[in-house]
Structure 1
Amino acid sequence: MSRRRFYAPPSAFTQNTVTLADDEARHLRDVLRLKPGDEVYIFDGFGHEFRSTVSNVKRDMAELRIEAEVDPAKPESQLQLNLGVALLKGDKFDLVVQKATELGVTKLSPLITRYADIHLRDESDATKRVTRWQRIALEAAKQSGRAFVPEISLPLPFEKLEAEGVSVMFSERDGERIESLPAANSITALVGSEGGWADEEIDAARARGFHVVTLGGRILRAETAAIAVTVLMQHRFGDLR
C-alpha cells in the first residue's frame, strides 16, 4: 500500500506532534476521509519524513502524533543540481518546475536573460510567480515521493547567478559535447529561452568558467531542453540509471 503523504513546514512540528492546516488538513478530512487512529506520513520539505497517527481532526486543522522518523518514500539523488532556466511565457515554466522537481533538482533559478520570453512588471509580479511555482514544486515532490522540495529563487539576471560546482551553459551553438564534462556531485546547469543566448551571454559564461555544451543537431523548445538537461545530468552524475 502506498503511503498517504502530507506536507507540513518545520514550524508545524513539536517534539511529538505535527499540525496540518488549510489545504493539507482539508485533503486529509474531506478527500481521504481519515479519522483518529489512521496512519499517515508527513514530510517537511527539507528531507525529513515521519510516520504519524491522526489524533484529532477539525474544520481547517488536523493534529497528528509523531511515531517515528522514517526514510523518505523515495531517496534523493546524490547530485546537487541547480537548474537555471530563462523565464518562459504561459505555463511553460510551470511545466519545467513540475518535471524538474520530479526528476530530482535541488534548486531552480528563474533567469532574466536578453531573449527571455517574458518581462516582469515589478517585484510583486516576481513574488506571485515564485509563490505559484513553489506550490507546483510541493505537489510534484509529494507525488514523486520526495521529502525535499527544491528551493526556487526570485528571478535574477543571469550575470548575478551564483554558480555552484561544475557550471554548464547549454546552448544551441558553439558548444562542446556533453561527454567532455568532468565528473561532479554538484552542478549548475543553465538553459536559455526560445530565442537562445545572446553572444555576449555566452562569452560572459565562458569568462566565468562555464562549460558551454550543445545537445545534438535538433532544435528543442526551451521547456523540452530544460527537462532533457535534467534527465541527462541525473543520468550521467545522479541516480537516473
Structure 2
Amino acid sequence: MERPRFFTRQVLAEGSEIELEAEPARHIARTLRMQPGDRLVLFDGSGDEYPGELVTADKRHVTLRCGPARTIDRESPLAVELGIAISRGDRVDWVVQKATELGVARIAPLLTTRGLNLPADRREKKRGHWQRIAESACEQCGRNCVPEIGFPQPLDSWLDTVDAPLRLILDPRAKPGDLPAQVGTIALLCGPEGGLEDEEVKRARAAGFGTLQLGPRILRTETAPLAALAVLQARWGDLRF
C-alpha cells in the first residue's frame, strides 16, 4: 500500500522532528486514524520528499521524524504558465486542481472584462485558497514541486511580464496553425465565460500571443485550459499514450 503524502511549509531535513500544521495533523489523527510508528511521506516543495515516522498522533498534536531525502523528479520537461481568467463559482478551484495534476508550472489568475471582478481586499485570501488547492493536488498526484499561484492581477499587467518564447491564446474561432517542433516553455491564456473581448485579444496579440484552436466544439472555460494542457503535455511534455 502506498504511504500517504503530506505537504508542509516547514523546511525538512533528515533526522529532524517536526510538528505538523493543523490541517494535515487533523487529517492524520482524525480521518486516517494513524498511530505512532506509522509511516508516511512528507514534502516541502523543494523537489525532494522524505519518508517519515509518526512520533505522536493525537487530536491536538502530530509530530514525526524525517528519514533521508529522496530526489524523485515527477516534473514535466514542459513548463507551462497558465493565465486563467477569474470566473464565478468554483471554476478556478477546479482548474487549479486539475492543472496541477497535468504538470502546470505556474498559474496566474487574471482580472478580465467579462470575468469576475474580484474585490481588492479578497485577492490575497483567494490566492492563498488556490495555493492550498495546488498543494493538496501535489499530495495526490506525487509532485514534489508545488506550482506557484500568482496574485490576482489585471490581464494587461500579466501580459507585460510574460517572457515565454511560445505564447498562445485559446480561441475557438481561430484557424489551426503551425506549431514549432520543439519547445520547453509556454504561456497559455484562457478567457472567462463568453471569452476575452476583441480588444483584450488584440492586446494579447500585440504582446506576442498566437492563437490555439482545439477543435470544432466550444469548450467551457474550466474545460478548455485542461484540454489544452493535456494536448501540449502530450506533444512536448511527459504525457504518453
Is this a same-fold pair by TM over 0.5? Answer: yes
**Structure 2 residue 127 is matched with structure 1 residue 130:** yes
| Paired position in structure 1 for 2:117 | 119
**Structure 2 residue 195 is matched with structure 1 residue 215:** no
| Paired position in structure 2 for 1:29 | 29
Structure 1 residue 182: Cα displacement: 5.0
Aligned pairs for 1:72-111 within 5 A: 72=72, 75-111=74-110
The one-character-per-residue Cα deviations of 1:56-101 (angstroms, maximum 9, x if unpaired) are 33443322221111144x7111111111111111111111111111
Indicate if the aligned counterparts of 2:13 and 2:66 stay in contact, CA closer than 8 A. Answer: no
Structure 1 residue 149: Cα displacement: 1.7
The one-character-per-residue Cα deviations of 1:190-216 (angstroms, maximum 9, x if unpaired) are 011121122222222222211222222
- Which consecutive residues of structure 1, in runs of 5 or more, have no partner in the other structure? none
Indicate if the aligned counterparts of 1:86 and 1:112 stay in contact, CA closer than 8 A. Answer: yes
| Paired position in structure 2 for 1:38 | 38
- Which consecutive residues of structure 2, in runs of 5 or more, have no partner in the other structure? none
Residues 182 and 119 from structure 1, CA distance in 2 versus in 1: closer, same or farther, beyond 3 angstroms? farther
| Paired position in structure 1 for 2:189 | 190
Structure 1 residue 176: Cα displacement: 4.1
CA RMSD across the alignment:
1.9
Indicate if the aligned counterparts of 2:7 and 2:136 stay in contact, CA closer than 8 A. Answer: no
**Structure 2 residue 119 is matched with structure 1 residue 149:** no
Indicate if the aligned counterparts of 1:82 and 1:164 stay in contact, CA closer than 8 A. Answer: no
Matches of 1:82 and 1:220, distance apart in 2: 20
TM-score, with structure 1 as normaliser: 0.90
Residues 14 and 48 from structure 1, CA distance in 2 versus in 1: closer, same or farther, beyond 3 angstroms? closer
Matches of 1:186 and 1:215, distance apart in 2: 19
Structure 1 residue 15: Cα displacement: 5.5
| Paired position in structure 1 for 2:156 | 159
The one-character-per-residue Cα deviations of 1:32-66 (angstroms, maximum 9, x if unpaired) are 22222222110112322101122233443322221
| Paired position in structure 1 for 2:19 | 19
| Paired position in structure 2 for 1:65 | 65
Matches of 1:220 and 1:6, distance apart in 2: 34
TM-score, with structure 2 as normaliser: 0.90
Residues 146 and 87 from structure 1, CA distance in 2 versus in 1: closer, same or farther, beyond 3 angstroms? same
Residue identity opposite 2:118 in structure 1: L
Matched-pair identity in %: 38
| Paired position in structure 2 for 1:199 | 198
**Structure 2 residue 35 is matched with structure 1 residue 53:** no
**Structure 2 residue 10 is matched with structure 1 residue 10:** yes
Residue identity opposite 1:142 in structure 2: E
